[in-house]
Amino acid sequence: MKKVKVGNIILGDKMPKICTSLIGKTREEIKNESEKISLMDIDIVEWRCDFFENILDIEKICETIKEIKLILNDKPLIFTIRSKEEGGEALINELDYMNIYKKICGEKLVDIIDVELRIGDKNINKLVSLAHDNDVKVIISKHDFEKTPDKEKMIEDLLEMQKLKADIPKLAVMPNSYLDVIKLLEVTAIMNEKYSDTPIITISMGEKGMISRISGQVFGSCLTFASGSKSSAPGQISVDDLHTSMNMINKYYKNNNIFEDLNIMLIGFMGTGKTSVSTKLSELLNMKIIDTDEYIESKENMKIDKIFSLYGEEYFRQCEKNALIELSKEKNTIISCGGGIILKDENIQIMKQQGIIILLTASAKNIYKRVKDSTTRPLLNNNMTIEHIDKLMESRKEKYLKAADIIINTDNKTIEEICNEIIEKI
């Protein structure tokens, strides 16, 4: 999932962040709420301006925002006008709605604006452009307080928000059964796994949908809303209860966040499947890939077999060491290593510091089948036989085993099966 930085908060990073809303009607009520919320263990605050008694007075809105920001100190602030059509309090015409948001963005008063998808592409494009010009992030949202639409419609809406350049698409729906809740969670997971151009917020409202408010880390929702002094939407739970529930999930839930500061290092003899496995793992774990051979070819501006023929194997091995040192700054990356990278002990030490080392193995017979038609294997080009492959593998076996944290045999397995085994063992 792509991450979005707002102030000192990163959305889409590790556990979902917690937001609570200011829903006072008067400036005095809002200030009192802000004082209470400033002491709570939350990450972001939303001002629901649709509750404000002076919603059509732009100057009073701006003054109130400044007061809120002063009280909240460095907590990011979301500005929201939730319309009656989407469960809010505001009866406001399009012109007033647009003028308020333009003023808020133009003066850089808040960190995030929440804009409803219903206002149309033309209006959204204007506000998104103005917001981004002034370093304000944009949530584009849609709320359905009557039902949970079908999966295709929900995905369509979220993708439309991404197309309109939302930093964070948001979808909140009302479940009429627990199957509706599961439907929303499935949509969240699909977006997270297949369309992860942005972080997203998804909520199944009401008591039935409560699980959606605490399980964002599992399914892929980056922000959850807790009740502050009062609840601003059906199904919200207290800040303390949210922390308790989410911390419990975080304690036991195992996902690819363990690689935020680490890498997966794939090693193994040529033809064991490192390239195919790294490609599939990248899709499953949303990690980028670097192939050390391709990295060296780019640096040297020539193919591996040419490096071997011009400068010899020892020169190439030094290139591998240099590549590992240069790649040591990489994080959350699958690094697919050349077959002989373990021949230097110092390379093993560098890899141990960079991440989890996974050794892919295969029989000499299967490796021969996979590489026999290749002309880019310098160490096999003049001796492409099962016997030579077996001898070369045996000479490296001790080094491979010394380096490996996890060993996966790839014989007679699909790429999907190999990747699932890797994830399970990690």
Residues 42-53 have pLDDT tens digits of 999 999 999 999
Residues 363 and 241 in one domain: no
Mean pLDDT throughout 72-80?
A: 94
Residues 237 and 269 in one domain: no
Mean pLDDT throughout 272-298?
A: 90
Q: How far is CA 17 from CA 13, 34, 258, in A?
A: 9, 18, 18
Last residue of a domain, one of 213, 230, 253: 253
138-171 burial, b if ≥16 CB within 10 A, otherwise e? Answer: bbbbbbbeeebbeeeebbebbebbbebebbbbbb
Number of domains in the chain: 2
Q: Which two tokens stand for residue 236?
A: 């919200």
Say if residue 422's pLDDT is above 90.
no
Residues forming the active site:
143, 170
Per-residue confidence (pLDDT) for residue 322, from 0 to 100? 93
Pick 257 or 288 by higher pLDDT: 288
Domain that holds residue 180: 4-253
Residues 265 and 246 in one domain: no
| Percentage of the residues of the chain whose pLDDT score is greater than 70 | 93
Residues 225 and 116 in one domain: yes
Per-residue confidence (pLDDT) for residue 211, from 0 to 100? 95
pLDDT tier, 262 (very low <50, low <70, confident <90, very high otherwise): confident
Kindly report, residue by residue over 205-228, the tens digit of the pLDDT: 999 999 999 999 999 999 999 986
Pick 143 or 247 by higher pLDDT: 143
Pick 379 or 167 by higher pLDDT: 167
What's the angle, vertex CA 236, arms to CA 231 and CA 241, rounded to 5? 110
Burial class (CB within 10 angstroms; exposed 0-12, middle 13-18, buried 19+) of 407: middle
Residues 249 and 262 in one domain: no
Say if residue 254's pLDDT is above 70.
no
Residues 332 and 239 in one domain: no
Whose tokens are 């009073």? That residue is: 60
Per-residue confidence (pLDDT) for residue 331, from 0 to 100? 85
Tell me which of 16-25, 345-354, 366-375 is least confident: 366-375
Mean pLDDT throughout 367-389?
A: 72
Residues 150 and 25 in one domain: yes
Q: What is the mean pLDDT of the chain?
A: 90
CA 216 to CA 258: how far, in whole Å?
16
Say if residue 232's pLDDT is above 60.
no
Residues 241 and 281 in one domain: no
Nearest to 147 by CA among 116, 179, 187, 175: 175
Tell me which of 142-151, 250-259, 351-360 is least confident: 250-259
User: What is the pairing mode between strands 4-6 and 9-11?
Assistant: antiparallel
- At residue 227, what are phi and psi to the nearest 5 degrees? -75, 135
Last residue of a domain, one of 253, 281, 301: 253
Per-residue confidence (pLDDT) for residue 420, from 0 to 100? 85
Mean pLDDT throughout 272-293?
A: 89
Last residue of a domain, one of 237, 253, 269: 253
Per-residue confidence (pLDDT) for residue 13, from 0 to 100? 77
Per-residue confidence (pLDDT) for residue 380, from 0 to 100? 59
C-beta of residue 327 within 8 angstroms of C-beta of residue 299: no
Mean pLDDT throughout 138-157?
A: 97
Residues 205 and 233 in one domain: yes
> What is the sign, positive or negative, of the torsion defined by CA atoms of 176, 179, 185, 190?
negative
> The domain that contains 395 carries what CATH number?
3.40.50.300
Kindly report, residue by residue over 121-136, the tens digit of the pLDDT: 999 999 999 999 999 9
> The domain that contains 143 carries what CATH number?
3.20.20.70
Per-residue confidence (pLDDT) for residue 300, from 0 to 100? 92
Residues 236 and 126 in one domain: yes
Nearest to 118 by CA among 92, 152, 137, 151: 92
CA 308 to CA 71: how far, in whole Å?
65
Per-residue confidence (pLDDT) for residue 256, from 0 to 100? 46
pLDDT tier, 231 (very low <50, low <70, confident <90, very high otherwise): low
Q: Which two tokens stand for residue 325?
A: 């040192």
pTM over 0.75: no
* DSSP bridge pairs for 199: none
Max avg pLDDT among 193-197, 199-203, 319-323, 327-331: 199-203
CA 245 to CA 232: how far, in whole Å?
20
Residues 263 and 249 in one domain: no
DSSP 8-state secondary structure symbol assigned to residue 16: P
Per-residue confidence (pLDDT) for residue 249, from 0 to 100? 86
Residues 188 and 249 in one domain: yes
Max avg pLDDT among 107-121, 342-356, 388-402: 107-121
